[in-house]
Structure formats: structure tokens, C-alpha cells
Chain A
């Protein structure tokens, strides 16, 4: 990691709240929850729930920005739910697009790599994921996309212990769901 600062003062965005229905409103029910029954009412049916855009967004929204560790990729609007798209023909194929905060951002490869690794670890193997920068948002867009979707180069990057250490730090926030609402 070079000491160069690419964007010392990025814009901060309010995190979108997960589309939550108020706690009292149970879907498709006329009745409010009774405190007495709180334990029993777990959904024990195995009705499949598809992996969707929101679920994938949940996985990557809280990854820390490598340059501003106290902020998440979501807060800097590097990733967003609409930028995750499924291939309409091949259901297991999806594209995750991200937007560097500045077009010369030298951290973009690293951000792309952190998204890639997080998804490698968290999505079923049947998924084929393309990680790319948003068209027109980076000066070396083409090279970057190529790098991020080249299996061998990703694997080679993960052989570098110094890089992996920073990567693990950025990913360590990914599982946390307590978003800072005061931002």
C-alpha cells in the first residue's frame, strides 16, 4: 500500500436502511404478535427463498474502505443494491458493479478484490460473479475489469501476505449489521 492519498475528503452518504417492516407488522397477518408466543413462531417450513439483490448487497455493504477505514463502501456510495444485477438468461450469473470515489483512485483494484473475496467466501459455488467498475468512473477501467475477473491474478494477489492482512481488516467489518445511523 503506498502512502499516497487519493481522495482525502470523499462525500459521505446516509446508508439506506434495509427495507424493514415495523416490528409489529407481521406480513400477511391480521394479528399482532403476542409476547407469549414469541418462541414458537419460527418459520420451520423449508420453502426456498431465492438469493436476491438485497441479500448480496448485505454481504458487501459493510466492507471498510481501504483509505477511510472508519467508513463502509456503502457510506461512500462505492457499492449500492441497484448495481448488483442478475443475468436474465443465466440465473446463476451476476454482475457486481462498483464506483470509485475518484477516477484516479489507486485503491480501486483493492476494493474490487475485497468484493470478490467476500463473495467467493459467502456465495454458493454455482454463482459466477463479474466484478467491474461502473463504466466511465475510472481512468483505467478496462485494465481493472480484466484484472478483477482473472482467476489466476486474483489467486496470485491472495498469495501476498501483506495484502491479505489489509484485506482481512477491510473484510472484518463486513459481517456487522449495526450501521451507524448518526452519519
Chain B
């Protein structure tokens, strides 16, 4: 007891938490009771001096707040409640008293009687308008707790409670308090008999609608405008009694409000109408519809339009839901709004070509997803109307818009039923079932004319994707009609229909491939010629391109792809190795090769799409397709002794290489192993039996020796098909040679001494880079000693010819890249070597460009090809090299300095923007100097780098920094870009376009006050560029000049 007294005295002097804790501890262990505390506080609780009284009550409340609940028995609570209620009267103690009550009211020993005493005291003594927010918050918390825990007791207070509550909380403005107030309001509206206070409660809730609160930046309370909106909405829709009061208010907000208010109102209507009920909805139906109609037919923006359509659906559902439940009423029974609105819209659809038809159709589409009876009614009016319109000869010109409306309506009808793939709809539940014959008829007629074909295709697509609607036979009928359309593509105005037509067939192929395989494919294959059309037959060429394009889109599905491969391989053999009687004229050589190339490309494209989609059947084509390709190409290379063979064209081999790589990628390690053994047996030992197999028998008397120094170029060219296999090998697949390092050394030597062209050199580079990337750990003798010698002899030695040194630098870069990508430290040593060439004016720019090439992404060392790739290698490379290059560019002498600039542009155009954007400020002056280098390619890449830096939209901090950097150099940039955009000063089209693109974005990223001095000059100078000889440049000039015209403060 003395202890407590002492602690109280200390606290009054210090107000430290420790004393509160100490007293709570005393009570917890039973050394003291609340009676002791009150006694010890006695003199303070009744003190004359205001501040002492406040402190007394404050201390008591703090102790209660921290005390374990079981220490407050019924008796104590009773006493404390009475005590605190008394203290509410006293303006000096009201705040601590409220704190105490917050704790007391949530105690289990607090009873209903206490609750009544507390609310009465609150109502009597608390004047909300003299309290600050945090104090009012306490009041709300107390009431919230009481309403939650002692609801029945409060209900006993009857109407009086509600009216006094309303009086108390009226006028609250703070969002934190409102969140609580709304929650309380909802309980009162739902649980209490509010019938006599509907209007009062309406006033204290609807006055906050719509919520316009925007949280301040860095709001510590984290209350969002959505929190408030949602809790308020939960009040607005808590009782049907609000209906008659609320809807006029909503209507008013809808008419007069901003777009945001409109959307809030529509959202509120969506949740309120179902609660307010059918009677209220029906009463206001006409007025609501008139307002909604305005938002749909003259929409402020697409979102509001969408929302208004949604609300229209809710309105209809509310009005008609009861009818539907009572009886599955007949169409005749749909009376009132649905009928009137439906007829109103159909009236508008009498002119389907007019702008109002589209929104009217949207309303009708929306009706399809309301209630079954309204949907049936709507469908029974709309479809016959549109069908009739279509058949009316006077309306022939409006057939296209009519079908467009019909197509949209069918989609809506389709989407109105369950989309659950597990549930097949019952026969009677497909809304379109009664009208499908007429619709199918109209749509197929629509396919026959160019203008109506696109909407007819859309309609058919909606029809075939409606589950449970068309029979298999009917799907076949659709396919048949679409096939006819496909054959007309390109004639009589049928343009651009093949894409949507194919799209439809692809959709059908997913669930009924049979129809496509049996009807469409034979048609397409038979229209492919056996021999290439002559050079002058452009129309025929265009036709086979179209056919192949169609096939490539259609044949991804495994069964269809198999057919495609078989048919196209046959065609390929026929074109590449024509039968002797069909003597190919020389004139037709190139067209034949081009045709074969297109066929191969078709296979490659479909294959690539299949790989992207992870199709499992790709694997089997290592046996069905790859041997045929090797056979064709090896045969052609061996047989061509002077006479022309289409398959010896390098362009064909390059597509075949793509196919081989795609298939090799998909193989498991073991199968790759046997495959690569066959490849090596053929290329290294001339044993082609395992690798090649096909129609043409390879001549036994002509050996295949592509790596032999004396081999004919045509054989050497086939190294492309060798590297195609090697580049996709997994890490665990060894090359079937005794020593990989010496094999690579041999290839290196071969490429220096015997390679005839860039194709062969590329093939070797790709093999080197892939093997080093996979197996570098076992290749030290190659990557160090062998390459060391190569550097000295082929690159560093300036007695070697320029061409040869350049090629060697490229090879060097490929190997370095292989090491870099796998994170090998040797990569940096190889990179350093390139800097040694910066003084050598013959090759310094090539060396500088190689720096970017090393880190740029490429098509050989990819994840798909199973390359060993270390994360973030490009970031590390950039972080190491950039500072070095920047220093070099700033401090060195010519010609090193320019080489550094070239290296810089090459490097940053090769890496993601994020790797260098933080250094933009220091890079920008150098890039500007790069714009003065005489090389158009460098200029164009600098410009695209600057363009990427200026790209508006990314609201990150980094972007803002870059934009500041650009602002600093704005006038300089404008002058340079203008110079580079004039045909008279800059011959390169690419540079002119890049410069104009940059000028076009500049006003979007640099502030007006900085840039406006340039405005007049830019507009004047760009006027000249409008007369550029090239159209592509003029288009950019128009865009840039327009942006500058619009640029204002």
C-alpha cells in the first residue's frame, strides 16, 4: 500500500511509464488492489487544481489499460464505471476518462447495465465539437465496442439511442473516425429497428457520398480512399429502406458529377440495387435507364461506359430476378423496362450503319447476361431482326455492319452461359440453339462477299466456340465454307481475310482437327506447284507464299504437323532435284531455289512455334526430318559438278541449319550423343550412312570430305549444317574426338588457311564458341597457349592483311564471349588484349566494336541451346569496363580517344539499359562526342541509346535523373540532331530517322522552361525536313514537328 502511494507520488512528479508498470506489477502479483490505487490517488482525483485532477484520472486509466483483465472484478468495474461517467462531466478529466472507458468497456466483467450507463453519460456530457480528432476517436471506439459486445442492452434503449447517436456523430470529418463510424452505422442499420430514423441515418451516411478523400503523400495512417469507399458502401446497401431516398441522390450525382463521381455512383448502384429490391428498382426503372442510356450512348470515357452497362445489367437482374424464381415465365411475360429498352435499342438497330447502333447493340449484349427470361426475350427479338435486315434486298449496303452487330451479339450470347469446361451445357440451356440454323445461314452467305467476310468470320468463330451448339457435321460445313473463302484470297477485293479465316480454322483444329486435316490441308497442298513459277510470275509466287503462310499457321497441332512435314519434304525433293524429263532452264534456277527456301522456312517457322509452346513431338523429327535434310544437301553438293543444284544455295542451307538446331535442342543428352557421332562420322571420316537418308542415293564414288583443304567450296559450305548440330549440344555431351583441344586447334587453323567465305568462317566460329562455352575447363591448352600464338601471329602482327586481321578479331571475340558468358576469368584477359590494339589505326575500331560484341546477346550461346550461362555476366563486364573506357575517352590522345568512344557506343548498345543508366550523367558528354564520329552506324546507335534514355513513361527515380542529364545538354542535342536530320548534310536514312525520333521525344522529357528557346528554330528547321526524299523520314519529321507545335508551358 505504501509502496503504491510512493509510486503514485513519483509518477505525478515525473509521468514516467516505469511507475505505471510498477503499480501494474504490484496488482498482478496481488500485493495491491484497485482500491489501494484509488485510495492512493484520492487527493489527486478530487484536487482543486485542474492539472492535478487530470493527472490523477490519467494515471488510473493508464493502470487499467495495462492491468490483466482478471484483476478487475465485477465490483471494481462497477465502481470504476460510475466513477468515470462522473468524470466525463469535468472538462479537465474527460479525456483520461474516455481512455479509461475504452479499456473498461472491453472487459469481460463489464455488463449490459454498465453499457447503458456509459452511453447515456456519453450522450449527455460529450460535446464532439470541442474534442480533437484523437479524442473523438476514443468516443467512437467506446461506442464501437459497446455495439459489438452489448448490442441487446443498447437495443433496449429503443429509438432514443438512435436519435442521440445520430446527434453525437453528425458532422464527423476525419477519415480514421469515419471508418469506425461507418462500421457502427452498418450494425445499427441492420440490427436495430431503424424504421423511425431512416432519414437521420440516411443523412449521416449519404452526406459522405461520393468519397473524395485522397490520402496525403506518406500518410502514416495508411487509410486509402478505397477503404473509406468500401466501408461507406457497406452502409449504403445495408437496408432496403434507403432505396427511395438514395436513388434520387444517385441519379443526381450521375447527371452532374465528374467522370470519377459517375463511376463511384455506378459502383454504388451495383451493390445497392439488389438490396433495395425489385419494387424500388421498378419504381425508378425509367429514370435510371434514361441516365444510364446517356452514359452508354454518349460515353464520357470507355470505363464509365463499361460501368454503365454493368449497372444496366444489375438493374435488369434486380427487377426480373423474382419473376424468374417464381416461374420460368414465357417470353410474353417480360414486361416493363427490359421490354421497353429492348425495343428502343432494336429501333436504333434499324439503321445498323449509324454510330448509335454500336452502343445499342452493347446494351442488348449486356441483356444476355441478366436473367434467363430477359435473355430469351432479347435473343428472340434481336436475332430475327438482324437476320431479316440482312435478307432485305433494300438493305444490301448495310450487310457488313449488320453482320458486325450479329457477330458481337453471338459472342455475348456465348459468354452468357457458364464457361466452366467441366460442365457441358444441357441441350436446352444453349441460348442460341433455337436460332442456329438461321444464323449459320446468314453467316455463310456473308463469307461470299469481301465486305461482309470479316464480320462473318468473327460471327462463325463465336458460333463454333459456343459449347454444345454445333454438331460435328455443322462444324464440317463451316470448315468447307471457310476453305472456299481462303481460295479467293487476293482476288475480287478479298484482301486481309486469310488471317481471320485461318484463325478460325486454328480454333476449329484444336477440337476437331479431323475436319481441317481432311478438307483444308489437301486443298492447300494441292495448290502448291511442283515446280517454281518463273521469275516473272509474281502473282503465282505470291499465291504459293500465301499458301505456305496459311499452312505454317495451321499446322502446329501434332497430327497436322506430321502431315505437313511429309508433304513438304516430298515437294522439296521435287523442286531441288527435278526429275530428268523436267529439264530446268537456267532462267528458272534462282526461282527454284527461292521456292525451296520458302518451303524450308515454313517448316522452320512451325517448328520454332512448336518449340516455344513446348510441344513434345518435336523430338521424333530427328529421325523423320533431319536425315532427309542432310541427304538432300550432301547429295546436291556431291552431284553438282558445274550443273546447278538448288540445294547448294547457301540461303537454303542456313534455313536447314535452323531446323537442325531446333530439333537437336529438344533431344535428351543420350540421343544428342548418338546424333553427334553420326555427324562427326560424316564430316570427319566421310561416313554418311548414319547421318543421311532419303530418296536420292548418295553416290559411292564421290567422297564427302568437307574439311579437306582441296574440297570444293560447295562441300565446305555444308559446315553450316555441322555447326547447326554442335551449337545445341548439352554440356554433358562430349565431342566424339580424341582430344577436343586439338580438334578446335585444327578448326582454327583450317579457318585461317582454307575457309573460302564468311559462311564457313561463321560456322567454325560457332563451333568454337559453343565447345569452349561447354567444356572450357578441359581446354586450357587451346584457350591459353593456342590462342596466345594465334593472337601474335594473326592479330597483333600488322604485316597481316587488314581483312584477315579483322576476321581474326571476330573469331577472338567469339571465343572470349564463350568464356565471359560462363563466367570464366580468362575472358577478362582476352578482353584486355583488345585494348592493346587501340593505337593501331588499321584495326582499332574493329577491336573497339568487338568489346560490345563480346557482351551482346546472340543466337548461338542461348539458354535454348543449353549454353552455360552465369547470371549477371553482362552487368559485371560493364561495371569493369565502363569506368576504364570513360577514363580512356577523357584522357587519352588520338587515335586512342576515338577508339574509346567507339568502344563506349558499342558497349552500351549491347547491354540492357539498366546496366549503365545510373552513370548517364558522366556518359552523356561522351555520347555527344560519339555523334561527331563520321561513321553513320555509330551515330545511329548513339541516337538509339539516347532515345532509350529519353523514353518517357518510366516514372522511376533513375529515369528522372537521366532526363535531368538530357536537360543539361538540351540545346546541344537539339542542334546536333537537327543537323543529322537534313538529307543535305546526312546521307544515311537510318541516321536521319533516328535523329528525328529523338527530336520527337525530347519535348516530352525536358521541361518547357529549359527547352522553349529552341522551339522556333526546331519548327523552322523541321519544315525543311518535311521535304525529305524518303517517305519514312518524312513520317518521322511530321511526328517530331507536331510534338514541338504542341509543346507549350
Contact = CB atoms under 8 A, between A and B. Distances in A.
A124 B354 contact: no
Given A24-B545, A34-B651, A17 B496 contact: yes
B1034 A51 contact: yes
B772 to A, nearest CB: 23
Contacts of A31: 594, 597, 651
Interface stretch (A40-48, A104-112, A128-136, A144-152): A40-48
Nearest to B1045: A121
Contacts of A122: 1026, 1038, 1041-1042
Interface stretch (B744-752, B899-907, B974-982, B984-992): B984-992
B1049 interface: no
Interface magnitude class on chain B? 35 or more
A9 interface: yes
Contact of B990 (A10, A24, A44, A70): A44
A55 B1031 contact: yes
B1041 A121 contact: yes
Contacts of A126: 1027
B520 interface: no
A81 interface: no
Contacts of A48: 1029-1030
B1038 A59 contact: yes
A12 interface: yes
Interface string A21-48: 0101100001110101000001111111
A51 B1030 CA distance: 9
A70 B300 CA distance: 10
Contacts of B1042: 121-122, 171, 174-175
A24 B351 CA distance: 39
A47 B987 CA distance: 11
B356 A8 contact: yes
Interface string B589-625: 0110010011001000000000000000000000000
Nearest to B542: A25
A49 interface: yes
A124 B1023 contact: yes
B983 A46 contact: yes
A84 interface: no
Interface in A145-183: 168, 171-172, 174-175, 183
B353 A12 contact: yes
A102 interface: no
Given A25-B545, A175-B1042, A71 B355 contact: yes
Nearest to B605: A35
Contact of B549 (A13, A24, A43): A24
B351 A9 contact: yes
B1003 interface: no
A76 B299 CA distance: 18
Contacts of B1030: 43, 46, 48-49
A87 B917 CA distance: 52
B354 A11 contact: yes
A125 interface: yes
Interface in B1008-1049: 1023-1024, 1026-1027, 1029-1032, 1034-1035, 1038-1039, 1041-1042, 1045-1046
Contacts of B597: 31-32
Contacts of B354: 9-12
Given A30-B590, A30-B591, A32-B597, A175 B1039 contact: yes
Contacts of B598: 32
Nearest to B655: A34
B1045 A11 contact: no
A44 B355 contact: no
12 contacts: A11-B353, A24-B545, A30-B594, A32-B594, A34-B601, A45-B989, A48-B1029, A49-B1030, A121-B1042, A122-B1026, A172-B1046, A175-B1042
Interface of B: 299, 348, 351, 353-358, 400-401, 404, 451, 495-496, 535, 541-542, 545-546, 549, 590-591, 594, 597-598, 601, 651, 654-655, 859, 983, 987-990, 1023-1024, 1026-1027, 1029-1032, 1034-1035, 1038-1039, 1041-1042, 1045-1046
Which 3 interchain pairs have the tightest Cβ spacing? A124-B1027, A30-B594, A48-B1029
Given A30-B541, A51-B1031, 11 more contacts: A10-B355, A11-B351, A25-B542, A25-B545, A46-B989, A46-B1029, A49-B1029, A121-B1041, A121-B1045, A168-B1046, A174-B1042
